[in-house]
Structure 1
Amino acid sequence: MNQLLAIRVFIRVTDARSFAKAADSLNIPRSSVSKLLQDLEQHLGTKLIERSTRSFTITPSGEAYREHALNLLAQLENMDMAAGEGRIKPHGRLRVDVGSSLANLVIIPALPEFRARYPDLELLLGVSDRPADIIGEGVDCVIRGGALPDSSLIGRHLCSVDYVTCATPAYLSKNGTPTHPRELEEKHQTIRYFFPHTGKSLPLYFSNGGEKYEINGCSVMDVSESTAHTEAVLTGLGIGQIFRFSARPHLGSERLVAILEGWTQPSHPLQLVYPATRYPSAKLRAFADWAVELFSRESCKPSK
């Protein structure tokens, strides 16, 4: 048995959660995929994958072996690059998960630049505001906001983005422009964001010196996806608090108007996160370095 090939096949099968897709991506017969996995399981004396015609489950032994295998492959890749003295470029597949607004407004427009720099990297970009299970879903890294949930993850700071409170000119013409956050509770409609995994809605936050307010107001709509949240505010149904980088083009075109600008909102730190148990591969480090560069010039521009 070619154990290294069997390991690569195992990783690809668990990524794709399909023997057929793994075989197609590796350009080898499907029968070879099954045989290599059987040989690997026989060599290890344990089941790595429980499979049937309707289900696919990685066993606890398989999960543990997968993490060790990912570290091994990452170190081999780094060894090859070091020995090649820069002639070998990062290559292979990289799965990255990111929220909707960041993907659509920051990352995807810059992908031609990334592709030109790393032509041998195949990027699998998962786009969702729902937090990914990094280990369980075979994700190499995610870009997420806020503090890390536990010590099993390592985060690399990208930047901090700020929010802007805004509404359409038509809404403000009809309902008036508030001059104090308290007015939002009394006579305005709000459009809030809610977390899809918990169902919890975010209030609108305001701070000015010693004064602090959390405003829920009369919410006419709560939205669980960041791009849709911005679009909902653009309908003119209410006042929203959205990422400034999302609002910037609409503020420039005057489709949205910033309000309560004397009041600040907490900044939102963004981090590139990967498992602490996983050795960072050359392709992961390449993407992380590029992401730091990208976000420093795109998402974190000073407010204008």
Structure 2
Amino acid sequence: MDQLSAMRVFVRVVETGNFTRAAATLDIPKTTVTNMVQALEAHLKTTLLNRTTRRVMVTNDGALYYERATQILADINELDGSLSNSQTQPSGRVRLEMAGAFADLIVIPYLCDFHDRYPLIKLDIGVGDRLVDYIAENVDCALRGGTPTDQSLIVRKVGEIGMQAYAAPLYLEKMGDPSHPADLNEGHRCVGYLQAPSGRIMQMNFRRGEEQVDIDPNYIVSVNDARSYLDAAIAGVGIAQVPRFMAQKPLQEGRLVPVLSDWVCESFPLYIVYPQTRHLSNKVRVVVDWLAKRVQDLKVEENRQMMREAS
């Protein structure tokens, strides 16, 4: 028995919750997964997993073995990486998750640059504003907006994105310009953004000097995708508080107009997150660093846009 390989298989079964998903993420037959776990249990002379027709449950011995095995595997990966990183280019597949707006405007237009730097890395990019099971779906890292609440994730703040309230010219012709954030609940309507983790409509935050106003928007339509949120504002459905980088093109084309420009909107933090149990290998590290650089470049462009809006 190759104990190291069996250890890796056992860890993946625990993390994914069953043999079938473990086999799929490891790209090996399910029977191989079953046989390797059984061989490991025979070698250790203990039961690591209790199997039923519906689920796999970790025994007390299995939980102790899993905790030590994940640390051992992380140490081995780190040792291998420290010896090979200086000699070879990073290679392999990296699974990313991010919202559609981030993919469309921050990442995908610059993928040729990434490929020129790291030609041996293959990126599998999952796109959408949804909750992700990082372990079961074998996700290496994700670019996320807003402060993460999942305590099982390691988080790295890579920047903040500026926000601004916008409306379509058609909407303003019908409803007029709001003069105060309180108007958004009195005589105006907004587009609601439904946050995936909480299921609540995102507040709109405004600040002017010492005055801070938090608005629960009066909406007739809510969506849970940032691109659809922007599209609804462009269509004249209502006022939306949108990241400046998303509004840049429709603003230049005259499809959106800033409103409440004398108020500062609370910025939106951006984080790169990855599971605590997932070792940050060299291939993942270069992806994380590249994403962080893209966010920094975005901030420079955002500052230029603010200057254009003010002129």
TM-score (norm 1): 0.83
Equivalent AA in structure 2 for residue 273 of structure 1: V
Tell me the equivalent position of 2:160: 160
Classify 1:210/1:29 alpha carbon distance in 2 versus 1 (closer, same or farther; 3 Å).
closer
Higher mean C-alpha deviation, range 43-52 or range 179-188: 43-52
Deviation at 1:160, TM superposition (A): 0.4
Classify 1:200/1:138 alpha carbon distance in 2 versus 1 (closer, same or farther; 3 Å).
same
Tell me the equivalent position of 1:82: 82
Tell me the equivalent position of 2:253: 253
Query: What SS class does the counterpart of residue 178 from structure 2 fall into?
Result: coil
Tell me the equivalent position of 2:4: 4
Query: What SS class does the counterpart of residue 302 from structure 1 fall into?
Result: helix
Deviation at 1:257, TM superposition (A): 1.2
The separation in 2 between residues aligned to 1:197 and 1:214, in whole angstroms, is 20
Kindly indicate whether the alpha-carbon contact (under 8 Å) linking 1:144 and 1:273 is maintained by their aligned counterparts in 2: yes
The answer to whether 1:47 aligns with 2:67 is no
Classify 1:288/1:49 alpha carbon distance in 2 versus 1 (closer, same or farther; 3 Å).
farther
Deviation at 1:2, TM superposition (A): 0.7
> Per-residue displacement from partner, 1:123-164 (whole Å, max 9, x unpaired)?
343333234344565433332233343765432221100111
Deviation at 1:80, TM superposition (A): 2.7
User: How do 1:1-304 and structure 2 match up within 5 A?
Assistant: 1-10=1-10, 30-44=30-44, 45-48=46-49, 50=51, 52=53, 55-57=54-56, 59=58, 69-84=69-84, 86-135=86-135, 138-149=138-149, 152-276=152-276, 279-298=279-298, 301-303=301-303, 304=305
Indicate the RMSD between aligned Cα atoms, in angstroms.
Answer: 3.2
Query: Matched residues, percent identical?
Result: 36
Kindly indicate whether the alpha-carbon contact (under 8 Å) linking 2:50 and 2:59 is maintained by their aligned counterparts in 1: no
Deviation at 1:48, TM superposition (A): 4.0
The separation in 1 between residues aligned to 2:280 and 2:100, in whole angstroms, is 25
Classify 1:30/1:196 alpha carbon distance in 2 versus 1 (closer, same or farther; 3 Å).
closer
Deviation at 1:29, TM superposition (A): 5.2
Higher mean C-alpha deviation, range 66-75 or range 99-108: 66-75
Kindly indicate whether the alpha-carbon contact (under 8 Å) linking 1:204 and 1:216 is maintained by their aligned counterparts in 2: yes
Deviation at 1:238, TM superposition (A): 0.8
TM-score (norm 2): 0.81
Query: What SS class does the counterpart of residue 154 from structure 1 fall into?
Result: strand
Deviation at 1:26, TM superposition (A): 5.8
Kindly indicate whether the alpha-carbon contact (under 8 Å) linking 2:18 and 2:56 is maintained by their aligned counterparts in 1: no
How many residues get paired? 302
Kindly indicate whether the alpha-carbon contact (under 8 Å) linking 1:142 and 1:274 is maintained by their aligned counterparts in 2: yes
Deviation at 1:287, TM superposition (A): 1.8
Classify 1:19/1:299 alpha carbon distance in 2 versus 1 (closer, same or farther; 3 Å).
farther
> Per-residue displacement from partner, 1:9-30 (whole Å, max 9, x unpaired)?
4456667777677667766555
The separation in 1 between residues aligned to 2:206 and 2:27, in whole angstroms, is 55
Classify 1:159/1:74 alpha carbon distance in 2 versus 1 (closer, same or farther; 3 Å).
same
The separation in 1 between residues aligned to 2:158 and 2:189, in whole angstroms, is 33
Kindly indicate whether the alpha-carbon contact (under 8 Å) linking 1:167 and 1:234 is maintained by their aligned counterparts in 2: yes
The separation in 2 between residues aligned to 1:115 and 1:66, in whole angstroms, is 36
Deviation at 1:298, TM superposition (A): 2.6
Classify 1:25/1:233 alpha carbon distance in 2 versus 1 (closer, same or farther; 3 Å).
same
Query: What SS class does the counterpart of residue 213 from structure 2 fall into?
Result: strand
The separation in 1 between residues aligned to 2:121 and 2:274, in whole angstroms, is 18
Kindly indicate whether the alpha-carbon contact (under 8 Å) linking 2:95 and 2:126 is maintained by their aligned counterparts in 1: yes
Please list every run of 5 or more consecutive structure 2 residues that lacks an aligned counterpart in the other structure: 306-311
Query: What SS class does the counterpart of residue 102 from structure 1 fall into?
Result: helix
Classify 1:26/1:179 alpha carbon distance in 2 versus 1 (closer, same or farther; 3 Å).
closer
